[in-house]
């Protein structure tokens, strides 16, 4: 009973904070469009999604565009907001903080994703309790439509790496077309600043045992005159670094256990000749090698212990996350009931 009262108290407190902040209620469906210099395509994106999801509120979050993106979006009736810290991850952090909705659709403003599958994605979240629906490009037209071969290789590499490391079967890791539940949006801690954000949210959903569905979409390349903001090599290296960093955080025993095993094998490999010489001669000729092997083995044991400790802490973190989801659900219920009055 005390824990239930505590949860209700937190939800009520959060509700008062939202009222004081002047929140205007919860949208049924929110379409979130992060934009940076998409004047050539943003108009069509807004029109297509308005036709496909007439009940949705379309939010365009501008990220310091220098063209007519903002003016076009405002003229078409989209709700335009701004994020002044450059980077897609920063934009999504702002979106997730500010927007309240039953279902969220996130789509890039480059007109490469079809709006006609959005109702299916909404249905999976609303009626089948999906926490994240992935718009899967790689199972359809991506490799033929996309004209950047290194992007094709990078997408395949990232998909294969994450599916092996985290034992999952996500079809498209880096797609910018997704649907989310309220629980996902309000529990996801956005840490990435740039294009590695899609990788981060995918790993988060898998690690937290959230329901993830894939919907195959017909990808089309950017129209002529529209330029990608993704740098193949620098952003690709950031994504690979993000995978390694998140694997360390979410699978600490696997990460530190692997390092410990490599060091233990390395230490053993150099120690065996020293041991053989000692058995044959009774003398340790390579004493410095023996000392180094000892320290390397000690480091391996230390890393193995760190992995065990962090894995234990991860179990507690997962328990805390489940309680946090309960508080989010209570807050959502209170929020919806108050706005119905």
Q: Which tens digit of pLDDT belongs to each residue from 59-68? A: 999 999 999 9
* pLDDT (mean) for 100-106: 95
Q: Please, which pLDDT band fits residue 31 given cuts at 50, 70 and 90?
A: very high
Considering the chain, what percentage of its residues have pLDDT values greater than 70?
Answer: 85
What's the pLDDT tens digit per position in 82-92?
A: 999 999 999 99
Cα→Cα distances 65→39, 81, 82, 228, Å: 9, 12, 10, 14
What's the pLDDT tens digit per position in 218-277?
A: 988 877 766 666 666 776 787 788 888 889 988 999 999 999 999 999 999 999 999 998
More confident residue, 167 or 338: 167
Give the pLDDT of residue 229. 65
Give the pLDDT of residue 318. 86
Hey, how many other C-beta atoms are within 10 angstroms of the C-beta on 309? Answer: 12
| Region of poorest pLDDT, from 6-10, 82-86, 126-130, 334-338 | 6-10
More confident residue, 85 or 138: 85
Cα→Cα distances 236→28, 86, 167, 191, Å: 35, 18, 22, 17
- Residue in 168, 236, 197 with CA at minimum distance from that of residue 94: 197
Domain locations along the chain: 22-249, 252-340
Residue 301 has pLDDT above 80, yes or no: yes
Give the pLDDT of residue 338. 60
Hey, how many other C-beta atoms are within 10 angstroms of the C-beta on 6? Answer: 12
Q: Please, which pLDDT band fits residue 38 given cuts at 50, 70 and 90?
A: very high
Give the pLDDT of residue 150. 64
Distance between CA atoms of 94 and 89, rounded to whole angstroms?
Answer: 9
Distance between CA atoms of 271 and 263, rounded to whole angstroms?
Answer: 12
Hey, how many other C-beta atoms are within 10 angstroms of the C-beta on 261? Answer: 13
Cα→Cα distances 150→146, 156, 189, 196, 235, Å: 10, 10, 30, 16, 12
Give the pLDDT of residue 335. 64
- Residue in 97, 64, 101 with CA at minimum distance from that of residue 83: 64
Residue 5 has pLDDT above 50, yes or no: no
Residue 9 has pLDDT above 70, yes or no: no
Residue 184 has pLDDT above 90, yes or no: yes
- Would you state the CATH architecture of domain 22-249? Alpha-Beta Complex (3.90)
- Please, what sign has the CA dihedral across residues 69, 73, 78, 82? positive
The total number of residues shown for the chain amounts to: 341
- Cα 316 → chain centroid: 22
Residue 136 has pLDDT above 90, yes or no: yes
**DSSP strands (E only) in the chain:** 27-35, 57-62, 79-82, 101-106, 132-136, 178-181, 212-216
Distance between CA atoms of 253 and 308, rounded to whole angstroms?
Answer: 6
Residue 115 has pLDDT above 90, yes or no: yes
* pLDDT (mean) for 276-286: 86
- Percent composition of the chain: helix, strand, coil (DSSP 3-state, to 5): 60, 10, 30
Average pLDDT value for the chain: 86
* Contact predicate 180/204, CB 8 Å: no
Cα→Cα distances 341→14, 81, 336, Å: 18, 28, 9
Give the pLDDT of residue 6. 46
Residue 69 has pLDDT above 80, yes or no: yes
* pLDDT (mean) for 41-48: 96
Is-above-0.85 flag for pTM?
Answer: no
Give the pLDDT of residue 230. 66
Residue 16 has pLDDT above 70, yes or no: no
């Amino acid at each position: 009973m005390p824990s239930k009262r505590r949860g209700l108290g937190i939800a009520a407190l959060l509700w008062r904070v939202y009222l004081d902040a002047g929140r205007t209620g919860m949208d049924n469906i929110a379409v979130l469009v992060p934009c940076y210099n998409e004047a050539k395509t943003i108009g069509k994106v807004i029109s297509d999604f308005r036709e496909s999801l007439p009940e949705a509120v379309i939010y365009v979050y501008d990220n310091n565009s220098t063209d007519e993106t903002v003016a076009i979006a405002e003229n078409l009736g989209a709700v335009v907001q701004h994020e002044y810290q450059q980077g897609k991850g920063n934009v999504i952090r702002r979106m997730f903080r500010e927007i309240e909705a039953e279902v969220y659709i996130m789509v890039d403003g480059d007109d490469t994703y079809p709006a006609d599958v959005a109702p299916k994605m909404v249905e999976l979240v609303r009626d089948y309790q999906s926490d994240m629906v992935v718009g899967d490009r790689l199972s359809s037209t991506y490799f033929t439509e996309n004209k950047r071969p290194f992007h094709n290789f990078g997408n395949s590499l990232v998909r294969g790496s994450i599916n092996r490391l985290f034992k999952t079967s996500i079809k498209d890791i880096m797609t910018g077309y997704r649907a989310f539940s309220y629980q996902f949006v309000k529990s996801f801690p956005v840490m990435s600043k740039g294009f590695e954000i899609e990788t981060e949210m995918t790993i988060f959903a898998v690690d937290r045992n959230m329901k993830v569905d894939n919907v195959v979409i017909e990808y089309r390349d950017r129209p002529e005159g529209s330029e990608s903001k993704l740098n193949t090599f620098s952003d690709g290296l950031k994504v690979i670094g993000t995978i390694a960093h998140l694997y360390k955080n979410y699978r600490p025993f696997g990460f530190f256990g692997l390092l410990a095993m490599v060091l233990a094998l390395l230490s053993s490999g150099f120690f065996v000749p020293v041991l053989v010489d000692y058995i044959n001669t009774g003398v340790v000729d390579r004493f410095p090698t023996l000392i180094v092997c000892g320290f390397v083995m000690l480091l391996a044991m230390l890393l193995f212990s760190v992995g065990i400790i962090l894995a234990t802490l991860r179990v507690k973190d997962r328990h805390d996350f489940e309680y946090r989801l309960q508080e989010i659900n209570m807050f959502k219920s209170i929020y919806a009931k108050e706005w119905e009055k």
